[in-house]
Amino acid sequence: MLVRLQKLISQAGITSRRKAEELIRAGRVRINGEVIRELGSKADLDKDRIEVDGRRIEPKQPSISVLLYKPDGYITSLKDPEGRPTVTRLVDSIPVRLFPAGRLDYHTEGLLILTNNGELAQAIQHPSRKMEKVYWAKVKKIPDAAAIDKLRKGILIEGRRTLPARVTLMERHKNSWLEITIHEGRQNQIRKMCEAVGHPVIRLRRVAIGFLRDTKLKPGEFRYLAPREVKRFLSAAKKAAPKD
């Protein structure tokens, strides 16, 4: 059966559908030896030889998704040229290739989903799905009402303002804990926001992805997502998707 090329790539667990589109545009995908750059191209995995960077993709693997507590000091990537440890090392006991759905910065800890389900990855990380992520940020000193209001309304970072966020002052001592909820995924966003209002981040942890929380996982541990959890993510993403 003919299926769109980017869907076949994501279903095979190579990467998300959005990333697959980038691979196609970059000329890194071949069908029966021919370089394909057209996003509307279709193929039949049972009949056609489809290669990504010279590697042939195989028929769809069993769908597996896990929730990992990423420790500080791991990079959210499949590999790192600098030799830093990657989050995939923490799930290498799983016999299929998983890729991160979204990212956490090197020094940020907390919840991260890894999957070979391209549809789930798209539901979690595509900006149009507006998937909320909740962070606990330990910041220097105690932000006043004006600083918190700025965080809520949006901060100008590198010429572009962040979207409104929910911000709550959880604890105040010599330093403070903030709960910050956003649905963007800009690099180092929470750190840059807090830095901009004069309260640099000391420690940062993601505690929720959409509806999903798990207080039992410890750094480096993971658990499998239940089918009902995957279904709930997909249902929420479908509702949030922009209408044509």
Q: Which residues are tagged catalytic?
A: 105
DSSP state, residue 128: G
Distance CA 151, CA 139 (A): 13
Rounded Cα gap, residues 125 and 64, in angstroms: 17
User: Is the CB of residue 65 less than 8 Å from the CB of residue 114?
Assistant: yes
Are 111 and 28 in contact by the 8 Å Cβ rule? The answer is no
- Rounded CA separation 25/19 (Å): 10
Listed in sequence order, the residues at least 6 apart from 180 whose beta carbon sits closer than 8 Å to its beta carbon are 134, 135, 136, 137, 151, 165, 166, 167, 190, 193
